[in-house]
Structure 1
Amino acid sequence: MMEPLLDCSPLEGGSGTMRDKVAACCSFSTLKAWLPILGWLPKYQLTWLRMDLIAGITVGLTTVPQALAYAEVAGLPVQYGLYSAFMGGFIYCIFGTSKDVTLGPTAIMSLLCAFYIGNDPVYAVLLTFLSGIIQTSMALLSLGSLLDFISYPVIKGFTCAAAITIGFGQIKNLLGLQNISQQFFLEVYDTFHRLPEARVPDAVLGLLCLSALVTLTLMKSSLGPGPDDLPVHVRGARGLVWALSTVRNALVVICATGLSYSFEVTGQHVFTITGHTAAGLPSFQAPPFSETTPNGTVITFRELAQDLGDGLIVIPLMGLLESIAIAKAFASQNNYRINGNQELFAIGLTNILGSFVSAYPVTGSFGRTAVNSQTGVCTPAGGIITSVIVLLSLAFLMPLFYYIPKASLAAVIICAVTPMFDYHVVAKFWRVKKLDLLPFLVTFLLSFWQVQYGIVAGVAVSGCLLLYHVARPQLKVRDHGVLVVELDSGLRFPAMQYLSQTLFTKALMGECHLSATSKDNLRPSVYDVVIPWSCVPVSPPRSVVLDCCHVSGVDYTVVNELRDLLRQFQQRGEVLVFTGLSHSVLQDLLKAELPDFEHMESVEAGLQAVSGKTFHDCHG
């Protein structure tokens, strides 16, 4: 469970409690919990500044083309990608607890937003504001643990489906196709049906950009760590390859834009280009709480919120899940810890303030965070440099974005989402836990229909599997003349009926066989009920020693069932002895005043109490 954002709970000790509580809330350590920047800024070093500058510039050159491309995925004008890309750097620097994480638009979040906002920036900005409010509230209430109910198979099923959906959705831009449906299955049909209509210049440019990105990616991955005694020119060449491959997205988009611009100024409209973009920085204003349609109809806040529907649940939760998973992964990789609820607070506040600059919902980006980490960022200050680059692009480069070919942005997106499709995970599930394939496949397949249905169905299947294990705990039964039954997990009310039936069948009914006589003399009863077999006991009922060493708690349903079970043992002249009870469980059972309740410290003591004999090594 994640730690609370603040811990101002009352201290033990009588009259000084309120004074101590106020002092704790006003202490410098509490202030640092709110503002993690106070933990690293006083220790900031000049060498860190150089590394943060390099990392911030590198990530910034990656962020600009990706932000433009992801706005296309969200169904918004490209400038909205940049509007969403700069607020996170400033906010996270103050409130974030990971040095590596970068907040901004991502492929998955853009795909989710596209479903709910319907290409309308008003819905996008309002969704950002409401998501931020929900996320911040969750942080203040320490509700980050709700994300623990989304299992790894569900996450992988969703991300794999999202990678295919986003990647295939860019084929139309890569080939210059028009009038393609947004729904995935219809999109597949329309894309193949309209292949003869592909624009050759767009297709050629798109494939060239795709080839360049793949080549640069392979070059970077093949570099590996080099020995320290390399000649200067070799180290310089390796550094140049690393730099070019790291900023490959910006490099490809710049080259493609230059080519497109050279044709456009001569009056030749060869490529499908981005087109008009709003120039300059976005105005700082409150998010819209109503909308007036072109025909004069006013859509109220309530109607806007109703239209967003379950997006007000899916978007905040998936934003938190994606960002915190990334933060945890890089914290583990780089040997530091994060505060989960503080991360929630930083993301929520970023979305709230982002809505004032027309941003759509953001979260942590795995690709850009990886670039940030690999470049050697030392503190969250690198995010400020990235945000400045985005702001400079908005202020001075927006007219040039008019000429960006859509095919080049499509190539950037396809290469960005390809690593998300982890087909190796299927083999891992099969090898380690085959049953985990069920929520994975349910999430994966339904996400092609509607993303939120895939996530909900996957969580539901995972929950059913979890409940099944709770309701059907493994019982280890050993026969020492007296039955020893060991529960290998906790005991809660869903499992109590199963335990009662097992003890009744194995101990109180005794061993039995089916009578053939009753089968030979079958006759329908007046109620048309036929009992073809009868159970003839071949051994008497036996007492049971119930090993409860793994039971950490009980509820009233368990206590009530145990009362009935003890009465059944008493009626047959046998005993049920409990062993290994924890102090809290024992106290609960004693308070219930169960009839004939007997408990011992160990299984051996329980066996002695039942049979009067000493058993050694009973657990062997």
Structure 2
Amino acid sequence: MEPDSWSWAASGGKRGSGRWRAAARRRLPVLRWAPQYSRTAALADLVAGVTLGLTLVPQSIAYAALANLPVQYGLYSSFVGTMLYVVLGTVKEVSIGPTSLTALLTLQTCHGLPVQYVVLLTFLSGCVVLAMGLLRLGFLVELISPAVTSGFTSGTALIIVVAQLKGLLGISFLAESLLDNVAMLAENIHKTRLGDAALGASCCIVLLLLRKLKDVRVGEKRRALRLALWLASIGRNALVVCGAAGLAYCTADAGSDHHPLFKLSGRVEPGLPPLGLPSFGMSSANGTLTFLDMARRISSGVLMLPVVMVLANIAIAKAFSAGAAVDATQEMVTLGLCNMLGSLVHAMPTCGAFTRSAVSHSSGVRTPLAGLYAGVISLVALAFMTQYFYYIPRACLSAVLICAVIFMIDYRSAVVLWRRSRPELAVLVLTLLVAVLGSVELALLCGALGSLARVLRHLMRPPLHLAHYKTARGPALVARPVLALVYAGADRACARLRRAAARAAPRPLLVDCRDLSLLDYSAAQALERLIKELQASGQQLIFFHASAEVLRKLENIEGVQHAALRAASVGDALAAAAAAPAPTEAPAPATAAAPATADAALLAATDDANV
């Protein structure tokens, strides 16, 4: 559990001042690492930040294209989060910016709507994430199982790859779903532009080859070559985009004005973004739209996008935290503020990205300060380089996106689940199919419900193991319920116990509670009815080896043999039940317990320890 750092003003004096300082250090992580910051760390962060910036700029441009936004909106989204995370972030590798998931969800939520809706979506998503952090609702993300996450990311990766094939081939058409994209692609395949197709294929090949450069084995003495290969691999997106833009610039006169050799990104709005609040109302052809009207149009994204953002950010933080505890509350508060402040500069929704975090990690980042340098590079690109973005071919951006997300297709998890857990594989496939055939928002919801249904089914049908024992008092039948007895499966569990009791009759049926961790009121009532039913037929139901939590629940059930609950073996349970008075009889004299004690020792010696 996280310390309650948000309730700061509860005490006064020296103790209150100390709590304020502790809370400030916790909620402003920069205060923890800044006093020990060294020149070595500064140099490492500078290298990592520049490397990260060279990855962030071309990715931001590509993700803006994926969201069907002008190029500059990707760059507007690339500096606020990285800079703010320097002060509020807890994991040095995390880089806040546009991602493929947020871009795709933005496209599906704001498809056909003005850009003001995108900025409002950024602001409202930030508000929701901030509220989740302040209310400590990070546990909700735990409802999304790894199988759902795998199916969701694989589905979105497939959607992005198929959606970018048209850009790779130089074809233009409008499509919403993956099936629409496939159908329109087949219908328009004859319109493929050879120049764009050749450039797109070349960019994909170069990107994949450059990705492998860092794995080339180089001798220890050739450090310069090894560093050059590593830099080329890490900065491959920037190299390919610059190379393709240079080629497009040099061949700009090769085609006619109406049929250029490559389809280009087009004019990019120069300069830094204007500062202002999101639009909480706007005029349209049908009249004036209020804030509620605009929010209603993007309501699905406002509900689902924050969940995806938090899921991605916390997953990345856990992956790069080196086993340390992750402050989920701080991460959510930071992510919410990054998006709320980002909306002031017309940013699209942002969160952490595994690719950029991996770049920072491999670059030797020491502190979150590396994000400051990456943000500065984005600002420099906006201020001085937008005129050159005109020449970035769309086929090149499609290649960058495809090569970035193709490795998100998680087939390995499917193979492992096929071998180890078919029900979880079914959840993964369900999430994947809904994402591909429906929408990514619905896929996340269906996947979460599928996971909960799987858990609920397990609770409704808890395993009940039966074992036969030979004791000094004769054979005994022991039932061992596993996990939980709750309202959803109480009647089914009691029916199975009733059948087991019929097999054991007239001898008592023993219930080993060592593996029972949860017993709710409804199940307790069902057990009480079963006990009375068996007592009416002259048979006992003896519970033993109960944990402290379950023991308290069982002691409140009428007819339960309290003396046997703490018994650790079948023999001890039978001896305790024999020594205890019958529920309707007067207490037995104290001298009657002595033979039972000796009998219990004999029974314990003859018991089989494994149930």
Is the pair's TM-score, using the shorter chain for normalization, greater than 0.5? yes
- Give the secondary-structure state (helix, strand or coil) at the position aligned to 1:75: coil
> Which consecutive residues of structure 2, in runs of 5 or more, have no partner in the other structure?
470-474, 579-595
Correspondence for 2:2: 3
Counterparts in 2 of 1:21-100, with a 5 A limit? 23=16, 26-100=19-93
Correspondence for 1:545: 510
| Identity score, percent | 35
CA distance in 2, matches of 1:205, 1:418: 19
1:580 paired to 2:512: no
Within the candidate set 297, 300, 305, 2:287 is matched to: 297
Correspondence for 1:427: 415
Correspondence for 1:235: 223
Change (3 A) 1:318 1:551: same
Q: Give 1:422 deviation, angstroms.
A: 2.1
Conserved? CA contact 1:4–1:341, under 8 Å: no
The farther-off stretch of 341-350 and 479-488 is: 479-488
- Give the secondary-structure state (helix, strand or coil) at the position aligned to 1:185: helix
CA distance in 2, matches of 1:562, 1:341: 41
Count residues with an aligned counterpart: 574
Q: Deviations over 1:140-186 (max 9, x none)?
A: 11110111110111111111111111011111111110124232101
Conserved? CA contact 2:525–2:557, under 8 Å: no
Within the candidate set 260, 272, 279, 1:288 is matched to: 279
Q: Give 1:43 deviation, angstroms.
A: 0.8
Give me the CA root mean square deviation: 2.1
CA distance in 2, matches of 1:479, 1:215: 64
Correspondence for 1:141: 135
CA distance in 2, matches of 1:593, 1:600: 12
Conserved? CA contact 1:5–1:34, under 8 Å: no
Correspondence for 2:583: none
Change (3 A) 1:5 1:359: farther
Correspondence for 1:491: 485
Correspondence for 1:106: 99
Correspondence for 1:520: none
CA distance in 2, matches of 1:500, 1:425: 37
- Give the secondary-structure state (helix, strand or coil) at the position aligned to 1:494: coil
> Which consecutive residues of structure 1, in runs of 5 or more, have no partner in the other structure?
11-16, 511-538
Within the candidate set 365, 374, 388, 2:362 is matched to: 374
Correspondence for 2:188: 194
Conserved? CA contact 2:126–2:340, under 8 Å: yes
- Give the secondary-structure state (helix, strand or coil) at the position aligned to 1:615: helix
Change (3 A) 1:452 1:315: same
Correspondence for 1:559: 524
Conserved? CA contact 1:5–1:341, under 8 Å: no
Change (3 A) 1:575 1:20: farther
Aligned partner of 1:494: which letter? A
- Give the secondary-structure state (helix, strand or coil) at the position aligned to 1:270: coil
Counterparts in 2 of 1:354-393, with a 5 A limit? 354-393=342-381
CA distance in 1, matches of 2:84, 2:287: 37
Q: Deviations over 1:328-360 (max 9, x none)?
A: 11113xx54421111111111101111111111
- Give the secondary-structure state (helix, strand or coil) at the position aligned to 1:128: helix
The farther-off stretch of 312-321 and 173-182 is: 173-182
Q: Give 1:593 deviation, angstroms.
A: 5.6
TM-score (norm 1): 0.88
Conserved? CA contact 1:106–1:364, under 8 Å: yes
CA distance in 2, matches of 1:330, 1:434: 29
Q: Give 1:218 deviation, angstroms.
A: 2.1
- Give the secondary-structure state (helix, strand or coil) at the position aligned to 2:465: strand
Correspondence for 1:182: 176
1:319 paired to 2:318: no
TM-score (norm 2): 0.90
Change (3 A) 1:434 1:589: closer
Correspondence for 2:210: 216
CA distance in 2, matches of 1:153, 1:397: 42
CA distance in 1, matches of 2:135, 2:265: 43
Change (3 A) 1:126 1:21: farther
1:607 paired to 2:574: yes
Change (3 A) 1:495 1:265: same
The farther-off stretch of 547-556 and 95-104 is: 547-556
1:503 paired to 2:501: no
Change (3 A) 1:600 1:267: closer
- Give the secondary-structure state (helix, strand or coil) at the position aligned to 1:280: coil
CA distance in 1, matches of 2:463, 2:8: 40
Q: Give 1:557 deviation, angstroms.
A: 0.9
Change (3 A) 1:314 1:22: farther
CA distance in 2, matches of 1:357, 1:597: 70
Q: Give 1:554 deviation, angstroms.
A: 2.8
Q: Give 1:551 deviation, angstroms.
A: 3.0
Correspondence for 2:559: 595
Correspondence for 2:472: none
